[in-house]
């Protein structure tokens, strides 16, 4: 601890503060505008800095933002940069890191996680982050807030699992998403080559109707592995997903890729979903599947509660909600109580929601996989009845699909 500070002094200081129990507060929040008892009548937004995005932007203070693709910080850091800081010469660096930059995340076949060079700086005197910090403060000392020579901010980001001969793993951009990417739609369509006519990812709209059925049961999440959420708390445990072991997940694959396929940005899903109960939680994992070896590697994930599905175009977004919407997403949800709407059991409803942003390269010969689950109590607090039967429907008039920001390298 701090020298000269006794335990008695720490205890006295803590007793002088009114400390809110955030863990208990999150358990009491169902809607964004709820007033949990643990926050003494305040809403979650009342203590959230994103509600001050205008003041932050108008201050014109340069920010140095650091995030990891396998932390929870990438989405919020992109939002801060885009909505508050991109015109003040700020810098954002997003690496292949877990929480706090402790680990390099070894996502992809034949890759393993290891501890990052942050822990070795005293020995080797170098790291990507330290180099960028030094560059940033030198530019401020020279009255030139960014390396571009003006007030335009710069994003430096790392693409995981990228082959060195095709893609430079560290790249820079002044816009988000990077300009070399394009939004591509992959539909959920019937795989005519499969004997069970299961759904697959295809760029052709579905001509017949099919469904993917799963349920909300205990034990469905990625247990017995060190997930991105696990390593936020237990920083000394190396990231280690074991997605291939979860046989209860239902999934669909693309055909083996004939190119290297980069995904950088925020994927989002547009689904038609029915449920046996008035609410449902949907967890979707984007995975890298090798059809030769059978290995399955985690890329990113998204989770959504059906009651919050009311959709608004981003152009209508007003007030502090604006800074909570990623720059590469064309919609938003309020998550407010007034917009909450139960499902009609058995009737398909449209759910549009995002996944966590990433930068990852699927290599030639691999397949993109989407895996679905109705529960992951290891990482999410569910408020949905166990045993809820859920179906993702896709067909003419109910086209389920995923939007991916991609670049193909042949």
Residues 350, 375, 295, 95: is their CA dihedral positive or negative? positive
Helix (H, G, I), strand (E, B) or coil at 368: strand
CA gap 29, 305 in Å, rounded? 13
- The count of other CB atoms within 10 Å of the CB of residue 343 is 22
* pLDDT value at residue 9: 87
> In this structure, are residues 160 and 139 in contact, taking their beta carbons and an 8 Å threshold?
no
Residue by residue, pLDDT tens for the chain (410 residues) are: 567 788 888 888 888 887 778 888 888 889 999 999 988 888 888 878 888 888 999 999 999 999 999 988 899 999 999 999 888 889 999 988 888 877 887 777 766 667 665 545 434 444 667 777 888 888 888 766 554 445 556 899 999 999 888 778 889 998 999 999 999 999 999 876 665 667 899 999 998 888 999 988 776 666 667 888 888 888 888 888 876 656 678 999 999 999 999 999 999 999 999 999 999 999 999 999 999 999 899 999 999 999 999 999 999 988 778 888 999 999 999 999 999 999 999 999 999 999 999 999 999 999 999 999 988 877 887 777 778 899 999 999 999 999 999 999 99
* pLDDT value at residue 148: 46
Phi, psi of 312 (to 5 degrees): -125, 145
* pLDDT value at residue 232: 85
* pLDDT value at residue 298: 92
Structure tokens at 320: 């502090």
CA atoms within 13 A on the CB side of 94: 29
Structure tokens at 289: 């599947």
Give percent helix, percent strand, percent coil of the chain, each to the nearest 5: 25, 30, 45
* pLDDT value at residue 370: 96
Residue 306, class by beta-carbon neighbours within 10 Å (0-12 exposed, 13-18 middle, 19+ buried)? buried
């Amino acid at each position: 601890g701090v020298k000269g500070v006794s335990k008695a002094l720490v205890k006295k200081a803590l007793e002088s503060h009114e400390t809110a129990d955030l863990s208990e507060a999150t358990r009491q929040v169902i809607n964004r505008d709820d007033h949990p008892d643990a926050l003494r009548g305040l809403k979650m937004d009342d203590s959230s800095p994103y509600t001050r995005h205008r003041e932050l932007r108008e201050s014109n203070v340069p920010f140095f933002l650091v995030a990891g693709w396998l932390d929870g910080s990438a989405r919020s850091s992109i939002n801060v940069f885009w909505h508050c800081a991109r015109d003040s010469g700020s810098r954002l660096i997003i690496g292949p890191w877990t929480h706090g930059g402790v680990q390099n995340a070894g996502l992809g076949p034949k890759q393993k996680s290891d501890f990052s060079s942050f822990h070795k700086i005293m020995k080797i005197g170098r790291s990507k982050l330290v180099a960028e910090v030094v560059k940033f403060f030198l530019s401020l000392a020279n009255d030139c807030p960014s390396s571009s020579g003006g007030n335009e901010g710069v994003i430096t980001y790392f693409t995981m699992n990228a082959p060195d001969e095709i893609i430079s793993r560290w790249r820079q951009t002044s816009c988000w998403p990077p300009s070399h990417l394009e939004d591509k739609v992959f539909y959920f369509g019937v795989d005519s080559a499969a004997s069970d006519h299961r759904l697959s990812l295809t760029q052709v709209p579905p001509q017949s109707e099919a469904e993917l059925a799963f349920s909300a049961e205990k034990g469905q999440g990625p247990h017995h592995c060190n997930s991105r959420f696990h390593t936020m708390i237990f920083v000394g445990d190396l990231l280690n997903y074991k997605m291939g072991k979860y046989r209860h997940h239902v999934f669909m694959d693309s055909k083996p890729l004939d190119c290297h396929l980069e995904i950088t940005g925020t994927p989002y899903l547009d689904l038609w979903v029915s449920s046996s109960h008035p609410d449902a939680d949907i967890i979707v994992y984007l995975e890298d599947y090798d059809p030769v070896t059978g290995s399955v590697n985690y890329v990113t994930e998204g989770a959504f509660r059906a009651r919050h599905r009311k959709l608004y175009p981003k152009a209508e977004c007003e007030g502090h909600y604006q800074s909570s919407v990623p720059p590469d997403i064309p919609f938003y949800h309020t998550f407010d109580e007034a917009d909450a709407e139960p499902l009609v059991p058995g009737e398909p409803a449209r759910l549009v929601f995002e996944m966590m942003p990433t930068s990852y390269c699927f290599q030639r010969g691999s397949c993109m996989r989407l895996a679905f689950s109705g529960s992951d109590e290891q990482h999410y607090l569910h408020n949905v009845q166990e045993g809820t039967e859920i179906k993702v429907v896709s067909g003419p008039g109910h086209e389920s699909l995923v939007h991916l920001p991609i670049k193909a390298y042949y």
